[in-house]
Structure 1
């Protein structure tokens, strides 16, 4: 793991791997995490590098380090309030977004009007010169950046939003208060890397892995009125979906008849 081609520092990559192991139950709660010397051998890194990664885990409250006893996973590491199941319908998504809002704090970076990137205009079916309301916000979880979101809204929906509104209220609540009815949502999840802008606001190195979530919200007439692009720190984000079979609905394989 000690190759130097990655733009992400080695200590941060080790932190990301260790965090993934911890939140997924790799280490038992009653057994010490491997020592710095053992981890240094595992990751082919110096103990100073390992110590820096472990300090990040300690600061996040995922492990507790006690002289003479070792390092142990904390109970909090197994209770991530944002790792909740989401039923694959609009109500389930809105419930999930509400849970995220209750577990995090918002910081507004900007609120203005102007042209959106071409990809957003294409999604919303508007001309590149169309003026949209643009809002950029950072969500903090446990005092650290968790996500960076860029919202683009039609002026008739987001035109009255204030800086204070965006600081205290989830966007989905704001658009519904503005009279928009969410009839359909399209969502796409992709992996990406942090550029300079994301690096600055998420406090991560340029080139660090991110999860990008794009959501497009449609009104009752199936006209897109709100596009959201959210960047999540890949080592702090997990999205779960529960898929339920509809009552009385069977499926066939290769033309075979059910039953």
Structure 2
């Protein structure tokens, strides 16, 4: 029960503040807003496999919603393969299969990071060291519980918040720079300064919806569409040196790729024609 109470406090917030995290008049149903809040806690490593998530009764109290709405939110988490619901034992986070990834060439990425640094500014919102949960440990290929540096930042373009970044870096690398460094320099540059020879990256790109916590940072309404990018960066020895999750406002950021049609190899298909244009400027 103590662990469940702790999970409720961490995930749902206090009763006085919880209502401000939902948008009752927005286009996204309340049950899906709660689903997004808990899902982001799982993806962010704050809830790990085996952890209890709030019960229907807990969610009803914390968010001021009906029992039916709370049940639907938990059922959606179960349908997404994030939790398992067991009568008498509660709802627990389960181990999820790895998400199929899209390979991204590192070519052109280093230069685009420099351009990003010139046209935008980043602010560190949170900076501390945490034990790696299952997802983070898998991405960085370390043992669960190993200490990693976690940083949360917002990047602005002409004063407008453009992206919300959460990065995880192995402790031995992260210890070579501090919060002040991260406030003034792109993370990629700090990794290079620490002696990391960045060589490759693998990422997934998908769509998601803004929950109320991120909405306050990106100045977007809860339920607004966002671009979600997850990237694992590796050095020349194929060691993962950074795991990053970025949420972008699509009105300020978009991807563009040049392609050409190949017809002379018997099986017509599309192929890319080189590195991504400057309109695709990955965060660091």
Report the TM-score when normalising by structure 1: 0.60
**Aligned residue among 158, 178, 182 for 1:162:** 178
Q: Does 1:200 align with 2:216?
A: yes
- 1:6 corresponds in structure 2 to 27
Q: How many residues are matched?
A: 169
Q: In structure 2, the residue corresponding to 1:200 is in which secondary structure?
A: helix
Say if 1:109 and 1:138, in contact at 8 Å, map to a contact too: yes
1:84-120 deviations in Å (ceiling 9; x for gaps): xxxx632301112221121101111011100244322
Where does 1:9-20 land on structure 2 (aligned, <5 Å)? none
SS at the partner of 2:198?
Answer: coil
CA distance in 2, matches of 1:147, 1:112: 20
Unaligned runs of 5+ in 1: 9-87, 255-259
1:217 paired to 2:233: yes
1:106 aligns to what? 122
Whole-Å separation in 2 of the counterparts to 1:235 and 1:208: 11
- For residues 244 and 125 of structure 1, do their structure 2 counterparts lie closer, same or farther at Cα, with a shift above 3 Å needed? farther
The change in CA–CA distance for 1:94 and 1:209 in structure 2 (over 3 A counts) is same
Contact between 1:104 and 1:140, CA under 8 Å: does it hold in 2?
Answer: yes
CA distance in 2, matches of 1:251, 1:90: 27
- Residues 60-89 of structure 1 deviation map (CA, whole Å, 9 limit, x = unaligned): xxxxxxxxxxxxxxxxxxxxxxxxxxxx63
Give, in angstroms, the shift of residue 210 of structure 1: 0.6
2:181 aligned counterpart, secondary structure: helix
In the TM superposition, structure 1's runs of 4+ consecutive aligned residues that sit over 4 Å from their partners are none
- 1:233 alignment counterpart: 249
Q: Per-residue deviation at 1:121?
A: 2.0
SS at 2:143 equivalent: coil
Q: Find 2:110's aligned residue among 66, 81, 94.
A: 94
User: Secondary structure of 2:206's match?
Assistant: strand
Identify the residue that residue 72 of structure 2 maps to in structure 1. none
CA offsets, 1:2-22, max 9 Å, x none?
A: xx77139xxxxxxxxxxxxxx
CA distance in 2: counterparts of 1:237 and 1:133, whole angstroms: 27
**Deviation of 1:127 (Å):** 2.3
Partner SS, residue 90 of structure 1: coil
1:159-198 alpha-carbon deviations (Å, 9 max, x no partner)? 1221221111011111011011112110211101112321
RMSD: 2.4
| Distance in 2 of aligned mates of 1:166 and 1:192 | 27
